[in-house]
Amino acid sequence: MIDNRRLRALLPKRVLGKAGSGHTQQEIAPEHSMDPRAEEPAPLESSVVHSAVYRDGKRTSTPATLAEALRSLPDASSMAWIGLYRPREPQLLAAAEQFGLHELAVEDAIVAHQRPKLERYGDTLFVVLRAARYLDETEQVSFGELHVFIGPGFVLTVRHSETPDLAGVRQRLEDDPELLRLGPEAVLYAILDAVVDGYAPVVAGLQNDIDEIETEVFGGDPGASRRIYELSREVIEFQRSTRPLLAILKALAAGFTKYGTNEELQRYLRDVTDHATTVAERVDGFRQMLSSILTVNATLVSQAQNEEMKHLTEAGYVQNEEIKKVSAWAAILFAPTLIGTIYGMNFQHMPELKWVFGYPFALALMGATCLSLYATFKRRNWL
């Protein structure tokens, strides 16, 4: 059985000195701080969502406690399947003690927020899966985490989110006693199959979102860039959920001969591998498509900005030409105005006031000045 004190010592914690004090303070490690669940103890059975004991593919009892489930196993052909939902640390420790789980696997299940993986601890298999669900209302992808412990005569599932819902998986197996008779490995196959099948609506939803984004990009929607970035983040997160699943299935296939996996179950697992590979390839394609769309969008935005700058430049050029014309005519009209203003002051002792040719000379001077300015501006293309 597992040593709870040893497990608690293995849980990652940091000890920090508090400034100005003579004592230290324990701070929860980052992995624990990411877990929003409360830490208050609760009875183990409060997190048990379903428990059943099966023999030869048929349910024989529905025990209320883990201890009762273990006592209900009369021989090697029986199997207990216990489902836990958001268990707290004391609950998982109790479950680990009941099933003799390895402390490192229990630590991962307590901390949660693990990447998809498969690990073997003696005759116990520990699998972490990431389920996904597409939300049509918000056009977003919701991810869930599932931990599965597989051992001789038992299956312990630990869910940290609403998805995946294993009620359908349990019902499917109970409707197929021949498959359920294959034992815990059959349960693992059914869970893997349900998780991978759940990816199909997500793939379809993401494909639809990408099609919409392409329309927005070529339609010049200014909000397309932001949506591309948001969808890229979801695709990357989805890729982190699907890509490691191929390694899990490959590791299971590598142990077919060593662990004597049923031949029919091998075929089922290969089928799951085919579906998972298709999903992973589609997700990889989505990421490349979004990268290409982002490049095209940047190019189109740059072209639109260049066109706008071109129009602004052309408008500025036309405006400058108009200003030049106005300035030229203002200069031409300024010369006779200046001459007329000076000779219109009517001072008593101004020159040419009593000259007979004074008026014609003033008019000729105005005309000559205007013609000279007009010729100068015309030569410089101001007019």
Instruction: Residue 24: give its domain's CATH number.
Output: 3.30.460.20
Residue 214 and residue 127 share a domain:
yes
* Among the listed residues 205, 220, 39, 33, the one whose alpha carbon sits nearest the alpha carbon of residue 113: 33
Which pLDDT does position 278 carry in this prediction? 94
**Domain-embedded: residue 291:** yes
User: CA 53, CA 296: separation in Å to the nearest integer?
Assistant: 57
Last residue of a domain, one of 234, 267, 301: 301
Which pLDDT does position 34 carry in this prediction? 44
Please give the full DSSP string across 152-194, using - where no structure is assigned: TTEEEEEESSS-S-THHHHHHHHT-HHHHTT-HHHHHHHHHHH
- Residue 320 CA, distance from chain mean position: 50
Whole-number average pLDDT of the chain = 81
Give the pair of three-digit tokens for residue 243. Answer: 């890509």
- With a cut of 90, say whether residue 359 has pLDDT above it: no
- The string of pLDDT tens digits covering residues 47-58 is 677 889 898 888
For residues 143-150, give the mean pLDDT: 92
**Domain-embedded: residue 310:** no
Give the pair of three-digit tokens for residue 255. Answer: 């142990």
In the chain, how many domains are there? 2
φ/ψ of residue 133, rounded to 5: -145, 135
Residue 106 and residue 70 share a domain:
yes
Task: Name which residue leads in pLDDT, 353 or 232.
Answer: 232
**Peptide bond connecting 244 to the previous residue in cis, omega within 30 degrees of 0:** no
**Domain-embedded: residue 158:** yes
Residue 323 and residue 297 share a domain:
no
pTM > 0.75:
no
Give the pair of three-digit tokens for residue 286. Answer: 């989505």
- The string of pLDDT tens digits covering residues 3-44 is 444 444 444 443 333 333 343 444 444 444 444 444 444 455
Residue 190 and residue 135 share a domain:
yes
Q: Assign residue 348 the CATH number of its domain.
A: 1.20.58.340
Residue 116 and residue 223 share a domain:
yes
Residue 341 and residue 247 share a domain:
no
Residue 59 and residue 104 share a domain:
yes
For residues 299-312, give the mean pLDDT: 80
Residue 234 and residue 154 share a domain:
yes
Which pLDDT does position 45 carry in this prediction? 54
Residue 354 and residue 291 share a domain:
no
**Domain-embedded: residue 133:** yes
- The string of pLDDT tens digits covering residues 184-210 is 999 999 999 999 999 999 999 999 999
Last residue of a domain, one of 301, 326, 350: 301
**Domain-embedded: residue 372:** yes
- Quickly count: other Cβ atoms within 10 Å of residue 363's Cβ: 13
**Domain-embedded: residue 312:** no
Last residue of a domain, one of 301, 329, 353: 301
**Domain-embedded: residue 19:** yes
Residue 104 and residue 242 share a domain:
yes
Residue 275 and residue 325 share a domain:
no
Q: What residue numbers bound the domain in which 351 lies?
A: 317-379
Residue 142 and residue 186 share a domain:
yes
The strand pair at 140-151 and 48-55 is best described as unpaired
151, 127 in Cβ contact below 8 A? no
- With a cut of 70, say whether residue 183 has pLDDT above it: yes
Q: How many helices (H) does the chain have, and how many strands (E)?
A: 11, 9
82, 104 in Cβ contact below 8 A? no
User: CA 8, CA 93: separation in Å to the nearest integer?
Assistant: 9
Give the pair of three-digit tokens for residue 208. Answer: 């639809």
**Domain-embedded: residue 201:** yes
